[in-house]
Amino acid sequence: MSRVTLDARRLLCPMPVIRVQDRIETLTPGTILEAICTDPGVMNDIPAWCRINGHKVIETRSDRTEYIVVIEVGEEE
């Protein structure tokens, strides 16, 4: 299973969501994408986007300066 990282630091929502969306379009199902962000809004927005678009959030974590969302890319419909 491949794993890729996306640097979305210093971007404010919805830009991190757009970056995640655009990156996922290039990835194959099952790939793990780790998005590193600094806007706390991503903790709600990226999981919401994943739920409606068929991707799975497998981990969220934060050290108060960075907010990391780990996503498993879903199957294409």
Partner 1 sequence: MAQFRIIHGFPRLPTKHIMTEQRKAVALISGGLDSLLAAKVIQEQGIHVEGINFYTGFCVEGHTHAIRKKDQKKPKRNNALWVAEQLGIKLHIVDIVEEYKDIVFNPKHGYGANLNPCLDCKIFMVSKALEWIRKKDFDFIITGEVIGQRPMSQRKETMPVVSGESGAGDLLLRPLCAKNLPETRPESEGWVDRERLYDFSGRSRKPQMALAEKFGFKDYAQPAGGCCFLTDAQYSGKLADLWRARGSKQYEMDDIMLLKVGRHLRPAPHFKVIIAREEGEANFLQGYRKQFITIKTISHGGPLALIDGEPTAADIELAARLVARYSQGRDADLVELEVMDREGTSRALKVEPLKPHEIPQEWHI
Interacting residues toward partner 1 by CB under 8 A: 10, 12-15, 17-18, 21, 39-41, 43-45, 48-49, 51-54
Q: In the bound complex, what is the minimum distance in angstroms from residue 23's beta carbon to partner 1?
A: 13
Comparing CB distances to partner 1, the nearer of 43 and 70 is 43
**Token pair for residue 41?**
């809004």
13 is catalytic: yes
Active-site residue (options: 4, 11, 13, 27): 13
Q: What is the 3-state secondary structure (H, E, C) of the chain?
A: CCEEEEEECCCCCCHHHHHHHHHHCCCCCCCEEEEEECCCCHHHHHHHHHHHHCCEEEEEEECCCCEEEEEECCCCC
Q: In the bound complex, what is the minimum distance in angstroms from residue 77's beta carbon to partner 1?
A: 9
Which residues are known to be catalytic?
13
